[in-house]
Amino acid sequence: NDVSLLRLCSLPCPLFYWCYQSQFRCDHTCTGKCQDKPLTFRCSGGAQSPVNIVTRSVQRDEHLIPFKLTGYEKKLHGHLINNGHTIQMDLPSSLKIERGNLTVPYKALQFHLHWGKNGGPGSEHTIDGEQFPMEMHVVHIKEEYDCLSQAAKDGTGVAVLGFFFQVLLSEYLKFDPLIDALKNITYPTNRTTLRGVSLDMFLPSRDNLTKYFRYDGSLTTPNCSEGILPFYHNVTCLLSLLQLASFSQLRFSDGNHMVNTYRPVQPLNGRQVYYSRGHAVLISTVLLFMSTLLSSALSLHTQPL
């Protein structure tokens, strides 16, 4: 009854290794005295992420007021790493989100990305079945906690802001520092210093942070803890196809191209997806716009890597 389709494999114990469906080699077996140690990753609960958001079924929630973002405009200076599953950057805890029906401020922990192959479909969440080329997760935890595993034990300890990416027909120059940095972190455990990128740069406009979806979900990687509060924005960040494709040059630990780093959508199991005030207009206009861009993007990247 594993709905996760993330295959869990054990590498040299007690470390564990898991992989995305796209990684066909996941046949490591545990040896030695750790063999009997059970894997404790629960990736098959009833409130798992990601999900497909059906816009016809979302419900408006008056409590979903605009977020207050603190420090998102700050130029970051820190390590960008290839962690074997994605690229990730730790964020200073001076970055915070408040409001948006969160009862207390949450401090930022890290951001990471999920993507497809050469700019093809790669987001984790889908909207009316549409998969976007990339999705960014900005992970926040309650200020009282030090790390994700601690916060994940609290039913409301983690809040994730998710952003979809869309293909832009020209280069989005603001992202060059990030795209350039990818060359230095081709292999897992590689790290590089990233300067001059702020989280704000990813977002087309602050105004759009008033318009978002919300539902109760989970982490999308082991251990898939539930009780996470993802807030999915319906706004999209923009990158050119070339820029998106450069993520496919990164490598997994098995040496293969790091592509399709997303978990498939999981059953809603009766969960309600809510949307914030003033969302309705955006849904129709933005989605139409997105479908057009997606189909042109898909026809462009039919060449293999």
Give the residues lining the site for ligand NAG (CB under 6 A): 184, 187, 189-190
Sequence-separated (6 or more) residues with CB below 8 Å from residue 181: 80, 192, 193, 194
Residue type, 214: R
Return the bridge partners of 238, or none. Answer: 166
Q: Which is nearer to Zn ion, 137 or 233 (CB)?
A: 137
Q: Per-residue x/- marks for Zn ion, 136-155, CB under 5 A?
A: -x------------------
Nearest to 117 by CA among 243, 244, 7: 244
Least distance from C-beta 113 to Zn ion, angstroms?
Answer: 8
Least distance from C-beta 30 to ligand NAG, angstroms?
Answer: 23
Q: Which is nearer to Zn ion, 137 or 140 (CB)?
A: 137
Least distance from C-beta 10 to ligand NAG, angstroms?
Answer: 21
Least distance from C-beta 286 to Zn ion, angstroms?
Answer: 22
**Residue 187: contacted member of Zn ion, ligand NAG, none (CB under 5 to 8 Å, by partner type):** ligand NAG
**Catalytic positions:** 85
Residue 125 binds Zn ion (CB under 5 A): no
Half-sphere exposure of residue 136: CA atoms within 13 angstroms, side-chain side = 23
Half-sphere exposure of residue 246: CA atoms within 13 angstroms, side-chain side = 17
- Rounded Cα–Cα distance for residues 262 and 111 (Å): 15
Instruction: Tell me whether strands 7-10 and 76-82 are parallel, antiparallel or unpaired.
Output: unpaired
**Residue 137: contacted member of ligand NAG, Zn ion, none (CB under 5 to 8 Å, by partner type):** Zn ion
**Contacts to Zn ion by CB under 5 A:** 137
